[in-house]
Chains A and B, each alone.
Chain A
Amino acid sequence: MTAVISTFEVCRYFGDDQETMVKAVDRVSIEIERGEFTAIVGPSGSGKTTLLHLLGGLDNPTSGSVELSGANIADMSGATLSDFRRDHIGFIFQAYNLIPVFSAEENIEYIMLLQGVDASERKRRVADMLQQIGLEGLGNRRPNKLSGGQQQRVAIARAMVSHPQIILADEPTANLDSKNGIALLDLMKELNQQSKMTFVFSTHDEKIMSRASRLIHMHDGEIELDELR
C-alpha cells in the first residue's frame, strides 16, 4: 500500500512567548494509506481540527513536514496550493459551509467549474452525486431550505464530486442529531468503499468513531494511540 498522507514530526504552535505558547499539534508523525477510513479522535482542544487543517494545506506547520500524494505542502503557496486543494483534497466542515446563494446543485457544481470540467460532464456528475447522497429532486433548493443532515450530504457531494484522493472532514456530524450523524457516517463509509477515496475525519462522538477502520487518538496535540480495527 502507498501512503497518500504522511506527516513527519509536524508541529503547529500558536504564540511566540514560551510561557503562553499553545502546542496545538506537537511532533505528529502519521501515515495514512489509500482508501483508509480514519478517524482522528480526542476531546475538544486536543488538536484534531488543527491537524486536519495541516493535512489539508489550510495551515502551515511551525516545523516538520506534511506530504500529500508525495508532494510537500510546505513547498506550495498561493495559487499552486489552491489548485492542489481543488484537485486532490475534498473538505467537509462541521458547519456545512455551503454557499448560501447557490442551490444544492450549484454548490456541488462550483468546484468542477474551478477545475474547468465541461458543462455536460458537470451536469452528469451533479446528478450522480445527488442520487448517491439521496437528494434527487432537491438539487435546486438553497441551503436554507434544506435540513442540517441534507446540507451536510450536499457538503459531502461537494467534497467528492471533483474526484479528490483524500476527503478531510472536520467533525462532520457535530451539528447533527445522533441518528442523522450515524446515517451520514454510514453514507461516508459506503462512498469510501465504492470510490476507494481516503477519508480522514475528526470526531469525539463514541458512536461515530465505531464506524472508523482506524482511530488516531489525540491528546494535548500529541498522538496518544493509533489503533487499527
Chain B
Amino acid sequence: MLLLKLAFRNIFRQRRRSLLTALSLGGGYILCVFSFSLSEGSYNSAISFFILDHTGHIQIHQDDYLLRPKIHKTIDDPQGLSELLDANDEIISHTLRVFAPAIAYSDTDNAPARVIGVALERERSTSTLAVKISAGVYIDDTLDAEGYYSAMIGAGIANNLNIGLDDELILISQGADGSIANDIYIVRAIVGDRTSPDRATVFLPLIAAQEFLSMYDSVHEISILLQDDGAARSVATSLQEQLPELSVAPWQVVESTFYQSMQTDKQGNVFFMGFIIFIVFIGVLNTVLMSVLERTREFGVLKAIGSRPFKIALMITCETSLLASLSLIAGLLVSVPFTAWFTSVGFELAEPMDIGGIVMSHMTGEMSLYVFATPLLLIIFFAITISIPAGIRAARISPTEAMRSH
C-alpha cells in the first residue's frame, strides 16, 4: 500500500511533465479507440448490409456451385433440409433460391437479366428484398386470372426495357434439362434504383422459377440467418457434419474477397495503432528515464536502508503503470461518450467510400469491449514493458555512487 502511495505521490512531483505524459497516453488511447471503432463500425455495417441483403450468415450449395455455378448443380431435397434447419435453435430463418441467366424482353427492347427464384415468405424473413421495393408490392406465388406469375424487376431492367408496373415481361433461358425456357410474367414491383446491385435482376416466385427452368423441386442455394453474428463459422461446421453431401459455407467464405480485404485493412489498422503507440511511448520512456535520473540519490538511499533492488524496480513499474492507468481512465471517460455518439449518430461522408466492394456513404462506429479493451491492454502492456529497463537501471544504482550524485 505504501508502495502504491509512494508511486502515486511521485507522479505528482513533476506535475507538468506528468500531465504532458498523461495527455500523450490518454490522447493516444482516444485515437486508437476512434480508429478501432471506425474500422469495426464500417466493417460491421458492411457485413450487416450484405448478410441481410442476400448472403445470410451461412449458405448451402451442391458441390462447388459457389465457385462454378451451373444450373444442374442443385440441392434436390430442399424440403427435407428446410425441416432440419427449422428445427435448429441457432437459426432465425432460411430461404431457398434458384439462379439462372436469361434474356428479358419487352414489346420493344431486350436486355440481359439474372433470374432469381425466391421462396417468397422465407425470403421476406431472411433478406431485405421486401424492403428494397421502390414501386409496387411484394409478390405472391399465385397465378393471376390469365395464368401468369408475378415478377419483381430491378430498376435497370425496367429502364432498359422501358416497362413498368403491370406490364408484361418475357424471359428466355435454358432449362436444366437442356430445353429452351420461355415464359411471360407480369411486373408487380420495381426493386431498388438504377444504381442498385439488383438493377439487372428479375425476382420470381420459387415455384415459377423452378417451372421456368425445369428444375422440379430442386434449388441452387439455401441462405441462412443466425441468431448470433459471431457463430457463422461454428454453425457452418456443425451443419457441414450433418450434411456431408452438400457444401456449407459461412459468410467469410461466401464473401471471401470482402473478407480478405477486411482482414488486410485491419492489419493496416494494427500498424497504425502500433505507430501511435510507438510515438506515445517515446515520450513515456523519456519521462520515466528522466524521473529515474533525477532521483538517483533517492534510490541510493532506499537501497541503503534496506529496499531490495526488485522493490526499487517494482516502484518504477508501479509509477508508470499508475500514470498509464490514470491517463487511460481519463481517455476512457472521453472516448466512451464520443464513441457512443459516433455509434448511434455517425456522420455522412462527403464522397461515398468503397469498403471491400460495399459502397458506403454514412459512417458509424462500433461500441464494444474489443474497441475499448484492445488499445487499453496494449498501452498498459507497453507501459509496463517500457518501465522495466528504467526499473532495472534504478535497481542497479550503487548507494555510494548515488550519495555522491546531486
The interface of chain A, by Cβ under 8 A from chain B, is: 53, 56, 58-59, 78-79, 82-83, 85-87, 90-91, 93, 97, 99-102, 106, 109-111, 113-115, 158-159, 162
Contacts and interface: CB of A to CB of B under 8 A. Distances in A.
A147 to B, nearest CB: 20
A58 B309 contact: no
Nearest to B8: A101
B306 A85 contact: yes
Given A53-B400, A93-B301, A97-B301, A114 B6 contact: no
B305 to A, nearest CB: 6
Given A56-B304, A99-B298, A101-B10, A93 B2 contact: no
Interface in B7-23: 9-10, 13
Provide the main secondary structure of the chain B interface: helix
B397 to A, nearest CB: 11
Given A58-B400, A97-B301, A101-B13, A79 B2 contact: no
A222 B9 CA distance: 44
A72 B383 CA distance: 40
Interface residues of B, number: 23
Contacts of B6: 99, 101-102
B398 to A, nearest CB: 8
Contact of B2 (A78, A90, A106): A106
B350 to A, nearest CB: 52
Nearest to A82: B308
Nearest to B309: A78
10 contacts: A58-B399, A59-B399, A59-B400, A86-B306, A90-B305, A93-B301, A97-B301, A99-B6, A110-B2, A114-B305
Nearest to A110: B2
Interface string B303-346: 11111111100000000000000000000000000000000000
A58 B306 contact: no
Interface in B388-402: 398-400
Given A59-B400, A93-B301, A97-B297, A79 B306 contact: no
B403 interface: yes
Lowest 3 A-B CB distances belong to which pairs?
A86-B306, A101-B9, A97-B301
B302 interface: yes
B40 to A, nearest CB: 42
A93 B306 contact: no
A114 B307 CA distance: 7
A158 B13 contact: no
A82 B307 contact: yes
B394 to A, nearest CB: 14
A1 B210 CA distance: 113
Contacts of B298: 97, 99-100
A71 to B, nearest CB: 15
Nearest to A112: B2
A52 to B, nearest CB: 10
A90 B304 CA distance: 9
A22 to B, nearest CB: 14
Which of the listed residues B304, B307, B311 has the most CB atoms from chain A within 10 Å of its own CB?
A: B304
Contacts of A97: 297-298, 301, 403
A87 B308 CA distance: 12
Contacts of B400: 53, 58-59
Nearest to A122: B2
Contacts of B398: 59
Nearest to B10: A101
A89 B242 CA distance: 76
A114 B308 CA distance: 9
A82 B2 contact: no
A64 to B, nearest CB: 17
A87 B5 CA distance: 23
B310 A79 contact: yes
Contacts of A158: 305
B13 to A, nearest CB: 6
